[in-house]
Structure 1
Amino acid sequence: MIGTIVNVATIIAGSVAGSAFKKSLNESYQNILMQAMGLAAAALGLHSAVTYMSDSRYPVLFIMSLALGGVIGQTFDVELRFKQLVAKISKGDLSEGLSTAILLFCFGTMSILGPIESALHGNHTYLFTNAILDGVTSMVLASTFGIGIILSAAVLFCWQGSLYLLANVLSGFITPELLTETSIVGGVLIFCSGLNILGIGKFKTMNLIPALLIPVIFIIFTQAIEM
């Protein structure tokens, strides 16, 4: 799990550095950094969704996933529970930054494929590349939202660690088709987070996270039928 450990370490380092940098910034600089982070997240999400949408075999699957996932998330009110949990450890708008960090760090293609490649083939390239990107991103996020962004490192460790341990079981299901469909949904969610940060909309992004499970269930069910 050396790749995951390096990835987590860069997020911790980036969060500490960004938090230290935040203390020397006045409000105007913090505001412009927040706008920059919102634009970056929106651009990354839009790029992911558009890039993979042309390769999708099921063009309406992401719509169904967002609708069903939204209903599930709203039923359990994931966003409210998440904000209540974050409120216990911090004040302010950390929940917005932390939810964006979790989406960016955990639900990108490299963060899903990386631990599987690491476990099955000893190839850490994806995770090392991801570590550099996450380190820079966590620094910017922490300079905007504070040291609380460091909590995303623990979430990432659990996420990638689970994929690493289950790699042999999941290897038959992690197909390019599955990565395509989940990347579209993940891209839309990251785009929504960017709009939230910019104040353009107020999307309950955390309530939409169950949408990521719908393509997985659909693809596995489809594969089972075709066998």
Structure 2
Amino acid sequence: MLAAVLVGGVAGSLLRLEDRLEDLGGALRGALLRSARGGAGHEGRERFVAGFVTASLVFCVGPLAVLGALDDGLGHGIESLAVKSALDGFASVAFAASLGWGVGAAALPVAALQGAFTVVGLVLGDVVPEADVTAMTATGGLLLLGVGMRLLRLRQVPVADLLPALAAAPLITELVAALR
């Protein structure tokens, strides 16, 4: 898990995922405001981006985001995704109350990520070892700690830069298993 976070953090930092996610939030806000009726200035932009980034990270890195989508793709049903949707719905109301309407724009990266994991489940079928799924789930839980630190304003952990750890976790698990 820690090796995955290290490798994923280096890869994400090199790819500047946190900056790109913030840029995407700013671009979405700009596009939505152009189609509506003008902007609310720098403070409004910062609030929108904070809502978008925070909600995107919370809703994308949780264990249910990965497991639920994989279960759906593997044909095990959508029960996990249904639970995640209910939890995300309640959380989004709370986030929107404090962070604004940027939270709603987080639906785009959530749909993209969960859709990608569902497709991975469809393509790989039942060949994904349980240890790999467990590694991704544990790594996602660790990333959620970083999101919690951001929400509590204890430390601005660049969690988006750590997202490649979700892909690195099963690879490292397989490497360790092969070396045994």
TM-score range, shorter chain: 0.7 to 0.9
Number of aligned positions between the proteins: 164
Which residue does 1:55 correspond to in 2? none
Q: 1:93 to 1:170 in 2, by over 3 A?
A: farther
1:140 aligns with 2:94: yes
Letter in 2 for 1:80: D
Partners of 2:145 and 2:3 lie apart in 1 by 18
Q: 1:151 to 1:145 in 2, by over 3 A?
A: same
Which residue does 2:117 correspond to in 1? 163
What is the CA RMSD across the aligned residues, in angstroms?
2.4
> Among residues 77, 80, 83, which one is paired with 1:126 in the alignment?
80
Q: 1:211 to 1:147 in 2, by over 3 A?
A: same
Q: 1:207 to 1:118 in 2, by over 3 A?
A: closer
Calculate the TM-score normalised by the size of structure 2: 0.76
Which residue does 1:204 correspond to in 2? 158
Q: CA deviation at 1:222?
A: 5.8
Partners of 2:138 and 2:74 lie apart in 1 by 25
Segments ≥4 residues shifted beyond 6 Å: none
* DSSP 3-state at the match of 1:188: helix
Partners of 1:65 and 1:121 lie apart in 2 by 27
Asked which structure has the greater RCO (Cα within 8 Å, sep 6+), the reply is 1
* DSSP 3-state at the match of 1:92: helix
Q: 1:211 to 1:124 in 2, by over 3 A?
A: closer
For structure 2, list consecutive stretches of 5 or more residues without a partner in the other structure: 30-44
* DSSP 3-state at the match of 2:106: helix
1:154 aligns with 2:108: yes
Deviations 1:105-146 (A, max 9, x none): 233333223234334436222222221111101111111111
For structure 1, list consecutive stretches of 5 or more residues without a partner in the other structure: 1-61
Calculate the TM-score normalised by the size of structure 1: 0.62
Which residue does 1:8 correspond to in 2? none
Letter in 1 for 2:75: H
